[in-house]
Amino acid sequence: MPRPVVVLAMVPQFTRQLFTDAHHARLAALAEVPEREPLSAFGDARAAALLPRAEILLTGWGCPPLDAAALAHATRLRAVVHAAGTVKDHLGDAAWDRGLLVSSAAVANAIPVAEYTVAAILMANKRLLRLRDRYRALRTFRWWPKEAPGLGNYGKVIGLVGASAVGRAVIERLRPFAFAVLVADPHLDAAEAARLGVELVGLDDLLARADVVSLHAPALPETQHLLDARRLALMRDGATLINTARGALVDHAALERELVAGRLEAIIDTTEPEVLPPDSPLYDLPNVFLTPHVAGAMGAETQRLATLVIDEIERYARGEPFRHGVRREDLPRLA
């Protein structure tokens, strides 16, 4: 049986992060890879030479849109295997109309996001944001539960907005802790919530009850500013908002007002806009822990994504279905 031809398409620097020599050797044993260097555009001479040969397009961050013009060259293309999360950025109607098989490493990318989230939850409930600066200023003993009301993780209520791949990975990792876990998700039913061991509630109820609210919903037109001024006002005084999903889920101006007032605390990895302006108060507020969109796979963590996509290519080469396939009808529920 001939080996499938695999062509890579992504920002070149990500290829060097993703694939170790062992990954390249394994891929070469499964498939014909004409060039290790990925395509970064579909309209140049390299693409004109490689796309007609491709049976599988191995994509990653920065892959250009696979539009009708590119597909016209990719006459043998049957599958797209994405070594990252969302496929929405590069697969539009033309690709889905073609009936391509599609797989994504979103489930592998969910793992470091879930790990970041659990660390953030534990840190938030120990009131580390408040206590770090207070201890630095005082440099002496205090009765810290009085300095930081609500200090401690035992018995806290954790609210997860979205039972996505990340949301479910967070649920799994919260099991060892003495938390009550609430989930708000219109696509989750009571039976599945019971199987996951969480309480299914409405979003407003979750916001009013939770000590920590963590966002794991996709960025869709209907989730734009899901947490607006009214909903942010429902959160308890001193509650913490964690956002590792998308900045657009939150009305940034309304959140900024709450944070400047000091009523809420926040651990934020994704913002709107993606890089805040230099004069944003969120950089300096003592009740905000701000990171530059690093919760997802970074550095060596990306190699988990490489392993997953090569596993998928091996299944394809054996004539088996993808384990992490993405269907067109799934898109409205995916990030």
Catalytically active residues, by annotation: 246, 272, 293
25 near 4, Cβ under 8 Å? no
Q: Sheet containing 101-104: which strands, arranged edge to edge?
A: 6-9, 56-59, 79-82, 101-104
268 near 245, Cβ under 8 Å? no
Neighbours of 40 (CB within 10 A): 18
How many whole angstroms separate alpha carbon 244 and alpha carbon 158? 15
> For every residue of 29-88, which 3-state class applies, written as one string?
HHCECCCCCCECCCCCHHHHHHHHHCCEEEECCCCCCCCHHHHHHCCCCCEEEECCCCCC
Joined together, the tokens standing for residue 232 give 């942010």
Say which residues have a Cβ less than 8 Å from residue 19's Cβ, sequence separation at least 6.
27, 303, 306
Say which residues have a Cβ less than 8 Å from residue 193's Cβ, sequence separation at least 6.
163, 183, 199, 200
E strand residue ranges, the chain: 6-9, 56-59, 79-82, 101-104, 157-161, 180-184, 199-200, 212-215, 240-243, 265-268, 288-290
